A = this chain, B = another copy of it.
Amino acid sequence: MPERMRIPKPTARRLSLYLRELNDSIQAGRVRISSKLLGDALGLTDAQVRKDLACFGQFGQPGVGYRAADLCARIRHIMGRDHGWNMALVGVGNIGRAILAYHRFQDDGFQIVSAFDQSPQIVGQTISGQKVLPMEMLPQEVRTREIRIGVIATPAETAQEVADRLVDAGVEGILNFAPRRLNMPPQVSVGTVDLTVALEQLAFEISIVRGRGTTEVGAKTC
């Protein structure tokens, strides 16, 4: 296995945003797009856009810009988005149900092909077209359906155990909605969506902007 590439997370995140903007531009009938246009749409300088894209090879021509379709295809390839990704969902509570119902995932090439729960009350139900399976079927499903990503939407208490079972079954990455940190082997990629942390960060920013707590916080020492 090759060494993990060291692309800074902010760059990787911007690639996602470039891709979305390019898709919108192509759908709007645009054939070429400049680094300035891309940057303006995303609140970045054109120098930043050119620098990011230059990391991955020569795409554009000075004064002419990028061919939108070529650049889009190229970024899709770099990001592993030129093929679909099969996913398994574990935990079909409120968050799990919303994830199953969220059709945009599928439009974007990410498809939940199996859903699991440990509750006998939920197993066997069909939710958003997906029949909920018992946890015992996880290894077999991951293998036969070529599932590479596990989505964890369980309570915090069971998240680590579920993650271990997903990794044992062979998934390569986990998107974790449960509010706890997962200990995973280094070759397994983990993404986190933590709604409480997101809200807390927002509350913190608002508190700072409005001046609450500033006297004690002592910004200059950080």
Contact = CB atoms under 8 A, between A and B. Distances in A.
Interface of A: 1-2, 4-9, 11-13, 15-17, 19-20, 41-43, 54-57, 77-81, 85, 94-95, 97-99, 101-102, 104-105, 108, 110, 148-149, 172-175, 179-181, 183, 187, 189-214, 216-219, 221-222
Given A17-B197, A102-B195, 4 more contacts: A1-B211, A78-B213, A110-B199, A193-B193
B206 A149 contact: yes
Nearest to A87: B199
| Copies of this chain | 2
A17 to B, nearest CB: 7
A209 B187 contact: yes
Contacts of A217: 5, 7, 55-56, 78
B172 A209 contact: yes
A222 B6 contact: yes
A219 to B, nearest CB: 4
Contact of A55 (B56, B78, B180, B222): B222
A184 to B, nearest CB: 11
Nearest to A102: B94
